[in-house]
Amino acid sequence: MNTRYDVAIIGCGEAGIFAGYELMRRHPALKVVTLDQGADIYTRSCPIVAGKVKECIHCKICDTMCGFGGAGAFSDGKYNFTTAFGGWLTDFMDGKEVMDLIDYVDTINVQHGATTEVFSTTTPEARALEKRALEHDLHLLQARCKHLGTENNLKILQSIYETVKEHVEYRFHTAVTTIENRGEEGYRLITDKGDEVDCTWLIAAPGRSGAEWFANQCKGLGIELINNQVDIGVRVELPAKVFEHITDVVYESKLVYRTKQYGDQVRTFCMNPYGHVVAENVEGINTVNGHSYSDPKLRSENTNFALLVSNRFTQPFNEPYRYGKHIASLSNMLAGGVLVQRFGDLVAGIRTNEHRLSKSFVRPTLTAAVPGDLSLALPKRQLDDIIEMIYQLDKIAPGTANYDTLLYGAEVKFYSSRLALSGELETALPRFFAIGDGAGVTRGLAQAGASGVKVARVIAERLGK
Ligand SMILES: Cc1cc2nc3c(=O)[nH]c(=O)nc-3n(C[C@H](O)[C@H](O)[C@H](O)COP(=O)(O)OP(=O)(O)OC[C@H]3O[C@@H](n4cnc5c(N)ncnc54)[C@H](O)[C@@H]3O)c2cc1C
């Protein structure tokens, strides 16, 4: 089957959704299609969450990462109003424009049921916290933040889907396998069903799950790829009380520290007060993540957050993605999935086993994690960095370095190879745009959504002319 559209969008995660939404608003007459390898927002269901299996069975298409809402659909939806983290859009446009786009995406979310409650950073308590952290060389990056909540996040996405589907054709369970450059005619997408989709304008928003595939397509199309980073670390889980004085004041606290031993940058990331640690499947590799519910009834007694060491490579190695996957696969090899170790055991150089874990005061919320030894999976440098950071955090949140603090591994944040893009997020090929996490320009909901709105406006404006 061959069909022709004005605009084709690959992927309906946050970036692809907001590109479609804004095209609908700015240019409703356009014929737009979105193709996604995953399912619609009503039928996405991970077999672990559905209680059908205990551990990841490596579904061909991961329902947690793919489908309407993308990787963010089952996240607890921390929406950060900042350009300081969550992406690199300020490399392409000025900070004010990025903030305007982030605010705009928020107004759309609010129209579809998102909370209006914002955690502010300008309170005296937040400033005092920043000062206290600084006294210990910990740098608190603060941002206004909204907590959409895992359950509300789904409702918001459903409402957006119901609105946009009247204008944008969605083809689910449809993976794009090949992108062809057809010159003046535009682009042809070949799908795994053998269909051909022709379009004048192409927006690629394949997210992290499609990043490797997309990078290969770009190489074939002669589009330059710029090296990017990979962040490797662990997820820390401890009693919520240890971090309460911080999480009550700044919901999403990001603390950055440069280690004395190596001069590496370590940061806290994705803080989930009263949350749950979860396993996540990235292209067949089990990594770890976390989330939290806004409904108090669904809360745990623990807080979890990631501790990540940023790694950037220079010549001759240029495949950070492969490096990160390799490290995550080591802990998978040892544990058959996610590995968990008590901090005290790690420092003492002993493996955490079932017996030792059963004595822990901190009860793991990811019960499928297998007790083991992280030092056999993570490189020494990253592990030393993490241990140093935990002792540093202990100075502002005493209890962080307790023996029973749990460390899950490996947590790996892959950032797709970044494409060489114009200030309008257009590739070197005309009318071919790349947005969101898969293009290596964002790593969070707010900037991913903002990048989608940006390219939709560029297209609408050019068509207007
Ligand atoms: C567990 C978890 C929790 C998170 N929590 C937060 C949070 O609280 N706050 C925050 O700001 N960010 C969070 N993030 C990150 C956030 O979800 C991402 O930054 C955001 O989803 C990126 O949006 P995207 O549209 O670029 O990509 P994605 O959301 O990854 O969407 C990409 C889509 O493209 C589709 N696709 C890929 N390749 C193809 C192909 N070849 N053919 C067809 N379709 C394809 C995929 O199926 C997918 O649906 C979280 C991520 C995870 C995994």
**DSSP letter string over 242-285?**
HHHHHHTT-TT-EEEEE-TTT--EEEEEEEETT-EEEEEEETTE
Per-residue pLDDT, 412: 87
C-alpha closest to that of 332 among 380, 381, 288, 384: 288
Q: Is 28 exposed, middle or buried (0-12, 13-18, 19+ CB in 10 A)?
A: exposed
Which one of 65, 209, 418, 425 would you pick to mutate in the ligand 1 pocket, going by the greatest count of ligand atoms within 8 A of its CB? 209
pLDDT (average), residues 163-188: 97
Instruction: Give the integer Cα–Cα distance in Å for 186 and 54.
Output: 46
Closest residue by Cα to residue 66 from 57, 74, 78, 76 = 74
Of 104-108, 143-147, 440-444, where does mean pLDDT reach its minimum? Answer: 143-147
**Three-class secondary structure of residue 419 per DSSP:** strand
Give me the sign of the Cα torsion angle 374, 375, 381, 383. positive
Residue with tokens 């957006």: 160
Nearest CA to ligand 1 atom 12: 444
More confident residue, 63 or 461: 461
3-class SS shares of the chain: helix, strand, coil, % to 5: 35, 25, 40
Superfamily (CATH) of domain 2-119+145-226+416-464: FAD/NAD(P)-binding domain (3.50.50.60)
Give dist(CA 281, CA 62) in Å, integer.
7
Structure confidence at residue 286 (pLDDT): 83
397 neighbors 307 (Cβ within 8 angstroms): no
Q: Which of 40, 145, 208 to mutate to test the pocket of ligand 1 (most atoms within 8 A of CB)?
A: 208
**Burial label, 422 (beta-carbon count in 10 A; 0-12, 13-18, 19+):** exposed
- The torsion defined by the Cα of 324, 337, 340 and 249, in degrees rounded to 10, comes to 70
Amino acid at 303: T
Name the amino acid, one letter, at 385: D
State the pLDDT confidence band at 287, using cuts at 50, 70 and 90. confident
Each residue's pLDDT tens digit, 341-371: 999 999 999 999 999 999 999 999 999 999 9
From the CB of 149, is ligand 1 less than 6 Å away?
Answer: no
Q: Indicate the angle between helix axes 95-111 and 445-464, nearest 10 degrees.
A: 100
Percent of the chain with pLDDT over 90: 69
C-alpha–C-alpha distance, residues 130 and 327, integer Å:
33
Q: Is residue 9 predicted with pLDDT exceeding 90?
A: yes
Across residues 114-119, what is the average pLDDT?
89
Give yes or no for residue 78 CB within 6 A of ligand 1.
yes
Percent of the chain with pLDDT over 70: 98
Distance 71 CA to ligand 1 centre (A): 3
Task: Please give the structure tokens belonging to residue 209.
Answer: 């799950």
Domain boundaries, the chain: 2-119+145-226+416-464, 229-413
Q: Which atom of ligand 1 is nearest to the CA of 87?
A: 19
pLDDT confidence of residue 416: 66
pLDDT digits (tens, 9 = 90+) for 24-64: 999 999 999 999 999 999 999 888 777 888 777 788 889 88
Query: Would you say residue 394 has pLDDT above 90?
Result: yes
d(C-alpha 207, C-alpha 411), whole Å? 18
